[in-house]
Amino acid sequence: AQSVAQPEDQVNVAEGNPLTVKCTYSVSGNPYLFWYVQYPNRGLQFLLKYITGDNLVKGSYGFEAEFNKSQTSFHLKKPSALVSDSALYFCAVRPVALDSSYKLIFGSGTRLLVRP
């Protein structure tokens, strides 16, 4: 079965320190990969996506993600965390379509808490 794993329910980091939110996937073929962020009582906001090419993808708000095909991972990173980055982060993949849906498959989410 196709799946996305976010192994950490919560990540704690001090403001100014680098952060990493982990994501691995089990999907056939070469999927498209996404990161979304959800602030309290808000919808999902797009951060970045990987389609092809350079393994390091840069996105919104200073976030970036590193694609590793051999490890089937797509970890989200930021060099210097801000308190305002505290939110719920979702990794998602869009598999090579075996049906017509072109759906996104989501991980369980990781709560990022940045302390002052």
Partner 1 sequence: NAGVTQTPKFRVLKTGQSMTLLCAQDMNHEYMYWYRQDPGMGLRLIHYSVGEGTTAKGEVPDGYNVSRLKKQNFLLGLESAAPSQTSVYFCASRTGQSLDYTFGSGTRLTVV
Residues near partner 1, by CB under 8 A: 4, 6, 9, 32, 34, 36, 42-46, 49, 51, 90, 92, 94, 99-104, 106-109
Whether 112 contacts 45, CB under 8 Å:
no
Query: Between residues 42 and 115, which has the closer beta carbon with respect to partner 1?
Result: 42
Query: Between residues 15 and 72, which has the closer beta carbon with respect to partner 1?
Result: 72
Q: How far apart are the first and last CA of the chain?
A: 41
Which stretches does DSSP call E strand in 31-86? Answer: 32-38, 44-50, 56-58, 64-68, 73-78
Residues 6+ apart with CB under 8 A from 4: 23, 24, 25, 26, 27, 91, 92, 93, 105, 106, 107
* Cα–Cα distance for residue pair 48/63, rounded to 1 Å: 8
Minimum CB–partner distance for residue 73 and partner 1 (Å)? 17
Minimum CB–partner distance for residue 1 and partner 1 (Å)? 10
Minimum CB–partner distance for residue 6 and partner 1 (Å)? 8
Minimum CB–partner distance for residue 27 and partner 1 (Å)? 14
Query: Between residues 87 and 92, which has the closer beta carbon with respect to partner 1?
Result: 92
Query: Between residues 43 and 116, which has the closer beta carbon with respect to partner 1?
Result: 43
